[in-house]
Amino acid sequence: MGFLRTLLILIMVYYILKTITRLAFPIFIKRFMNKMENKMREQQSNEQYDASKVGETVIDKKPTDKTSNKNVGEYVDYEEVD
């Protein structure tokens, strides 16, 4: 009798949690999406205010001078063997 009672309680808890999850999950997703949307809108508005004059070119960092290393080794010519 105790086993059936425990089994019945577990089944009821399962269905109650399933129902609550089905109702609550969309609410949490909607809140998350609204927060992300607001963050993206804030970033978009910050970028628009930070932008300088239209058509002006801005370089964030100076390009580094890349020189090739001539001391990489000896060139060996090879032939394919059939």
pLDDT at 50: 57
What are the residues whose beta carbons fall under 8 Å from the beta carbon of 52, sequence distance 6 or more?
58
In contact, 40 and 33? CB cutoff 8 Å: no
Q: Which residue has the tokens 């808890």?
A: 13
Global pTM value? 0.43
From first to last of the 82 residues of the chain, give the pLDDT tens digit.
889 999 999 999 999 999 999 999 999 999 999 999 999 998 887 766 555 566 777 777 776 777 766 677 777 788 888 7
Interatomic CA distance for residues 70 and 55, integer angstroms = 41
Interatomic CA distance for residues 58 and 69, integer angstroms = 31
